[in-house]
A and B are shown apart, each in its own frame.
Chain A
């Protein structure tokens, strides 16, 4: 309890407050700019946080994450161009409200529901993380091996358009993770005599390449066009008490959806937002307004995608399995600060961890105020042309990849992985699965080999504990669930047709 209280007080220290305010604002800016994602924002901020104390650094990363997820809604509502993919569902009704002269209402709804989603998911973070971390204490090397397999199957299955392509992306990531010194024997593998590769491919530089530089190339491949400009708001951003009461049940429902979706590795904000939107429609008394400009539609999507932020941190911090690509990068930030996910975070690093949790709540409060009072101004920035964004993003990527180890080698790694990332995106492979595999690869390898060493080559210990069997069954289910879901959806779609034919 004293650690929780200490965390709360420490998060309210003025340096952390300033870091939260600046990072939220930077995050909203990144999110509002179409083409720039939360993952890119967090990846670029990691080097900036390098010299900061661990708690301030983590709060800053959380600020960019939450701000960017929310910021995506601003351009979705005012410009009909979702700033991030998780805001695509917000655009459905948000832009319709703008067309009807109620852009302020839409922005206010998005801000308040994002706040509710974010703050309630923080409570879930407080409640669910410690018991899950305790569970991790019972894990031996065999369980860690199955945990890494489970993490890979779920991200590959859920987040890619093709399961095979998702799995292939994951295995390619595993292959990259073997570059460097063998963790058991210390033999260099695939380093080609480059000493910088002995510790593996530099993680942050590779992330910046995969997410930021690849986006520079995606922007560069199309004709430079003028972007739509946001008009001035005709109505108030603040909602009436009646409107808040109307969206509250939707926000609470979407928060549950978002938090649970966030906990599942790979599902992410986009899926949560669409689920939240569909459920809002299903339960609404005003179904006819959906698609025409419904504040419940905006609230359903926004509360869900912001609730993902807290939810996705739960498996990241407790089991070391990131909920999505942003938390995979955050995990990198954690490692840079000398911390590792798992039970240790709640024992020896408890004070920093609980400061981070409290900071997560503070970040959401700042998001509410910045959104309500300055949201419309961020939309003006969202119309910045790609021709200006291209050099800015790349020059920041150079600083980002250089400043961790102060070496140009990492900048070249970023450049090469930027080109790889471009083709990965174009070929519908899954960069998030690659990143997750890079984190899970070493966990899986040391789990596999340590188990075999301890059992003198016997595979039996992999199948003895209940936890192992639970993880094996969950891996099989997650691998085949997309196929089952697809069959179910096909079945549902063919039923009405058959009935019409009758």
Chain B
């Protein structure tokens, strides 16, 4: 079985290959520096891969020990959904909904959940809109 470093080494080599392909599509002058980087990245990736195979007997520290995969996927999806919804709902409505969903999903008590969601949106409104006059994302609705 491949160790995590071996996998990382192969991914890096693949990335180097992709970067080389894209660089080869550029005019000669513009490709000069990216090509210089490609050579260094290729050399380092090969060195890293050799080291990873040499050290394959060394015990690895588990990278994802105690990983709560469902929770991580839920938060990532909620964050992605929130960003996607901002353009439709506007910053404040989307943020309020995002807080409710995330806090509910992370099992925060119902009373706290509402207070935190309203409190945060109010704080942002006062600080950014009224005091600092920073423009916030607007949606189709607000």
A-to-B contact residues, CB < 8 Å: 47-48, 50-51, 164-165, 167-168, 171-172, 174-175, 178, 182, 184-185, 187, 189-190, 213, 216-217, 220-224, 385, 387-388, 390-392, 394-395, 398-399, 402-403, 406, 408, 411-412, 415, 418-419, 426-427, 445, 448-449
Contact = CB atoms under 8 A, between A and B. Distances in A.
Given A168-B12, A221-B67, 17 more contacts: A164-B48, A171-B40, A172-B41, A190-B22, A216-B79, A221-B68, A387-B108, A388-B116, A391-B120, A395-B98, A398-B95, A399-B136, A403-B135, A408-B86, A408-B137, A426-B63, A449-B32
Given A164-B47, A388-B103, A391-B99, A178 B64 contact: no
B83 A412 contact: yes
A398 B106 contact: no
Given A189-B26, A395-B124, A411-B137, A217 B106 contact: no
B66 A222 contact: yes
Contact of B80 (A165, A178, A415, A449): A415
Given A182-B29, A445-B33, A411 B83 contact: yes
B98 A50 contact: no
9 contacts: A164-B44, A171-B41, A171-B44, A175-B19, A182-B30, A185-B29, A398-B86, A445-B33, A448-B36
Contact of A391 (B19, B33, B45, B102): B102
B41 A221 contact: no
B76 interface: yes
B10 interface: no
A427 B76 CA distance: 19
Contacts of B118: none
Nearest to A387: B106
A175 B103 contact: no
Give chain A's interface secondary structure class: helix
B75 A216 contact: yes
A419 B91 CA distance: 22
B44 to A, nearest CB: 5
Contacts of A185: 27, 29-30
B41 A427 contact: no
B26 A399 contact: no
B75 A217 contact: yes
Contact of A399 (B22, B33, B37, B124): B124
A392 B75 contact: no
B41 A168 contact: yes
B30 A220 contact: no
Interface of B: 4, 8, 12, 15, 19, 22, 26-27, 29-30, 32-34, 36-38, 40-41, 44-45, 47-48, 51, 63-64, 66-68, 71-72, 74-76, 79-80, 82-83, 86-87, 91, 95, 98-99, 102-103, 106-108, 112, 116, 120, 124, 128, 132-137
Nearest to A173: B37
Given A165-B48, A387-B103, A394 B32 contact: no
A133 B23 CA distance: 36
Contacts of B80: 415
A88 B133 CA distance: 38
Nearest to B8: A427
A51 B36 contact: no
Contacts of B82: 394-395, 398
Contacts of B98: 391, 394-395
A407 to B, nearest CB: 9
B48 A399 contact: no
Contacts of B91: 398-399
Contacts of A415: 79-80, 83
Contacts of A51: 132-134
Nearest to A442: B33
A60 to B, nearest CB: 11
Given A171-B41, A415-B79, A187 B134 contact: no
A402 B136 CA distance: 7
B44 A50 contact: no
Contact of A217 (B64, B72, B137): B72
Contacts of B51: 164
A187 B48 contact: no
Nearest to A395: B95
A66 to B, nearest CB: 21
Nearest to B38: A175
A406 B132 CA distance: 15
A174 B103 contact: no
Nearest to A178: B34
B86 A411 contact: yes
A68 B137 CA distance: 28
Contacts of A394: 79, 82, 98
B33 A448 contact: yes
Name which of B74, B95, B136, B137 has the most chain A CB atoms within 10 A of its CB: B137
B27 A187 contact: yes
Nearest to A414: B83
Given A174-B37, A403-B134, A184 B107 contact: no
Top 7 nearest A-B pairs (CB, nearest first) are A387-B106, A220-B75, A187-B30, A182-B30, A391-B102, A445-B33, A221-B72
A164 B76 CA distance: 30
A411 B86 CA distance: 10
Given A164-B51, A391-B98, A175 B135 contact: no
B25 to A, nearest CB: 9
B116 A408 contact: no
Contacts of A184: 29
A211 B76 CA distance: 16
B63 to A, nearest CB: 5
Contact of B72 (A172, A182, A220): A220
Nearest to B87: A408
Name which of B27, B37, B63 has the most chain A CB atoms within 10 A of its CB: B37
B120 A395 contact: yes
